[in-house]
Structure 1
Amino acid sequence: MSIDTRPVGVLLLQLGTPDSTEVSDVRRYLREFLSDPRVLDIPAPARALLLNAVILPFRPRRSAEQYEKIWTENGSPLTIHTETLTNRLQESLGDGYRAAYGMRYQNPSVESAVAQLIAANCDQIVVLPLFPQYSSAATGSALEEALRVIGGRWNVVNVTTISDFFDDMGFVESVADVARPHLDSFQPDHVLFSYHGLPERQVKKSDPTGEWCLARAGCCDQMVEANRFCYRAQCFATTRSVAAELGLDSGSYSTTFQSRLAGQKWIEPYTDVEVGELYKRGVRRLAVLTPSFTADCLETLEEIGIRLREQWRDTGGEDLLLVPCVNAEPKWVSAVAEMVRGVT
């Protein structure tokens, strides 16, 4: 194979999932995930104490029960959707590219995915974490691991990274295209955009000035240099773009944050709190989009599709619709292909 005909490697990265719903597998996954200093960004002794004395003795069993509710006969929904996306992306890109995927935590590993691309004689790799909005905890950690693996080889290939795509029109249109028929059929009173949460301290650390993020009113109303890497600001920007694409009226939608841990201040407003306020305002039919996730997973299917729906109905709400993620929909596959072609 000549140098001119070597394919470009495409490394898709997702957060990760346990190998099964067995408590031991869930514990192994949680240990690796929560040992990451970008995820629990506290001093190492405190992180070890929190993990070993508070989280791991109790949470694996509870999480295993939650995974059991969304597990399929083919395994984890996150793995299934990511593998399907990878295969369809390969078909879309053609012979000049080789696509592979890896999980930041557990399997298939980033190392195994990189090995596939090297075995295919790729001398350039595009690394694309499948997180639309940048966060150090997800995107930063995934990129750090990919660069560690690639950089640890004797022959280090050229690497291009894509750190976010919160305002990429291919992504925005893909989210809207998936949502539109569901919303037309469901006819919600309100559309809620629910994003994964982050501790406030991590958002503040993304602001190099220390004077913008969460330091002034309306800090997320526009993208400026100070909040270029602000996860919260990028989430609000995604909401504005998708809402505009869907033609949603002002006041008919809102942005919230889910999946917070107790004992620390997380970015607001909180999804589980806001739904109560929406009910008080007369909302009875609630649709929820989760555009910080590109593939349906525990946080969408179980946290929103099961737990939040139960909370909504217990509150008195008529119904709650979870709009699917973009997963491996054709328009999303094309959007990913265009992002890759745009940097190669």
Structure 2
Amino acid sequence: MKGVLLVNLGSPESPTPKDVKPYLDEFLMDKYVIDVPYLLRALLVRGIILQTRPKKSAAAYAKIWWDEGSPLVVISQRMQKKVQAQSTIPVALAMRYGTMSILKGLQELNDKGVNEVLLFPLYPQHAMASTTTILVLAEELRAKHFPEMKFTIVPAFYNKPSYIKALANSIKTHLDTFDYDHVLFSYHGIPKRHIRKTDITKSHCTIDGSCCNTPSPAHEFCYRHQCYETTKQVVHYLGIPEGKYSQTFQSRLAGDKWLTPYTDVEVNKMPEQGIKKLAVVTPAFVSDCLETLEEIAMEANHEFKVHGGEEFMAIPCMNDGEEWCETVADWIKDWAERK
């Protein structure tokens, strides 16, 4: 019997330091997130970051928390229910970090008699710290607990026409109501070394502005290329003129060389460049979360206006939008009907 496991990032149980700390520990101690030797990672995370970060992060979570719980979890649950309603096979939901674990999701499917699982990381672009860590952990759990189970992996769908259409249409509904000067495509940042580590050719990725536009097998797993390709295709679909859009990367840890340009730096410069009405899109996420609701819709919004901006629109992710849920359900149907 076939079934599906949708997997998103996860969330602390509550916006309190007590619950945020173990969540951050699990997340930051992941060797695919902070990819340094274990002892150094433990020193950095448990000796430095977790001494102050939980309180700060809890305050940020508190600003965006809903009555029903974590926005990311609530939105993902709504999406899962809509997709399940359009599917003839079981569709379960799990999170990479937190209590809604991948183990629980696989167990739920196993209890329903599922032995063929479509493993579906909810990330359009491939990255070590998102896709890879899900796939590695899921395989470890399968081998240990469900050896008879078989996986089919949903690859990065950053350029899949139906995804681009759903994303672009979702963005369009908001741009149609906003007389923007500029559209910023802001993607989650990752260290530059992650790009080189995922280069299967071991030679293509130079991160110099040209490699992402030069065809290569490396692009199958290159987060940077996939982000630029998503932007390119959405811009083409929507007919956004050259010069009226740009791309940046948000969120970073100090001490590393991360993908540039940085969202906060660029947003702060825009008003003096004549950009007074800014729309921001976050296509690395399919569900709104801390990075979109607090970092963009609140912090970037505030800083943009402090620096002279007038109007700011944080365009929501696709979330549980009808077209997006129908698209996912169609992908599931195509897989379920294969012999």
SS in 2 for 1:30: helix
How far 1:107 moved relative to its partner?
2.1
SS in 1 for 2:177: helix
Equivalent position to 2:45, from 48, 51, 66: 51
Which runs of at least 4 in structure 1 moved beyond 4 Å after TM superposition? Answer: none
- State the Cα deviation string for residues 230-251 of structure 1 (Å, max 9, x = none): 1010000000111111111111
Q: Relative to 1, partners in 2 of residues 1:215 and 1:196: Cα closer, same or farther, differing over 3 Å?
A: closer
Q: Relative to 1, partners in 2 of residues 1:232 and 1:277: Cα closer, same or farther, differing over 3 Å?
A: same
Which residue pairs with 1:165 in the alignment? 157
The CA distance in 2 between the partners of 1:84 and 1:41, in whole Å, is 33
Contact 2:86–2:326 at 8 Å: present in 1 too? Answer: yes
Equivalent position to 1:266, from 255, 258, 261: 258
SS in 1 for 2:312: strand
Equivalent position to 2:72, from 55, 75, 78: 78
Amino acid at match of 1:125: V
Which residue pairs with 1:3 in the alignment? none
How far 1:173 moved relative to its partner?
1.2
- State the Cα deviation string for residues 28-68 of structure 1 (Å, max 9, x = none): 10000001000000111110110112100000000000000
Equivalent position to 2:141, from 149, 164, 167: 149
Unaligned runs of 5+ in 1: 1-5
Contact 1:160–1:343 at 8 Å: present in 2 too? Answer: no
1:306-317 correspondence to structure 2 within 5 Å: 306-317=298-309
Contact 2:201–2:217 at 8 Å: present in 1 too? Answer: no
Contact 2:200–2:218 at 8 Å: present in 1 too? Answer: yes
Which residue pairs with 2:81 in the alignment? 87
Amino acid at match of 1:225: P
How far 1:289 moved relative to its partner?
0.3
Contact 2:268–2:303 at 8 Å: present in 1 too? Answer: no
Q: Relative to 1, partners in 2 of residues 1:154 and 1:237: Cα closer, same or farther, differing over 3 Å?
A: closer
The CA distance in 2 between the partners of 1:75 and 1:274, in whole Å, is 32
How far 1:215 moved relative to its partner?
4.8
SS in 1 for 2:156: coil
How far 1:154 moved relative to its partner?
5.0
Which residue pairs with 1:132 in the alignment? 124
Contact 1:223–1:234 at 8 Å: present in 2 too? Answer: no
Equivalent position to 2:10, from 4, 16, 33: 16
The CA distance in 2 between the partners of 1:168 and 1:215, in whole Å, is 24
Equivalent position to 1:290, from 282, 288, 294: 282
Which residue pairs with 2:269 in the alignment? 277
Contact 2:187–2:227 at 8 Å: present in 1 too? Answer: yes
Equivalent position to 1:36, from 27, 30, 39: 30
* Alignment: residue pair count: 336
The CA distance in 2 between the partners of 1:189 and 1:98, in whole Å, is 45
The CA distance in 2 between the partners of 1:83 and 1:220, in whole Å, is 35
Contact 1:9–1:126 at 8 Å: present in 2 too? Answer: yes
SS in 2 for 1:57: helix
Q: Is 1:101 matched up with 2:93? A: yes
Q: Relative to 1, partners in 2 of residues 1:214 and 1:278: Cα closer, same or farther, differing over 3 Å?
A: farther
Query: Percent identity over the alignment?
Result: 40
- State the Cα deviation string for residues 236-294 of structure 1 (Å, max 9, x = none): 00001111111111111111000111111101111011113322321110000000000
- State the Cα deviation string for residues 303-343 of structure 1 (Å, max 9, x = none): 00000001100000001100000001110011112222333
Normalised to the residue count of structure 1, the TM-score between the two structures is 0.95
How far 1:18 moved relative to its partner?
0.2
Q: Relative to 1, partners in 2 of residues 1:242 and 1:43: Cα closer, same or farther, differing over 3 Å?
A: same
- State the Cα deviation string for residues 178-234 of structure 1 (Å, max 9, x = none): 111211111110000000000000111111333321354322225521332110100
The CA distance in 2 between the partners of 1:129 and 1:222, in whole Å, is 27
Contact 2:204–2:216 at 8 Å: present in 1 too? Answer: no
The CA distance in 2 between the partners of 1:174 and 1:29, in whole Å, is 32
Q: Is 1:304 matched up with 2:296? A: yes
How far 1:76 moved relative to its partner?
0.3
Which residue pairs with 1:62 in the alignment? 56
RMSD over aligned CA atoms reads 1.3
Q: Relative to 1, partners in 2 of residues 1:222 and 1:78: Cα closer, same or farther, differing over 3 Å?
A: farther
Normalised to the residue count of structure 2, the TM-score between the two structures is 0.96
How far 1:153 moved relative to its partner?
2.2
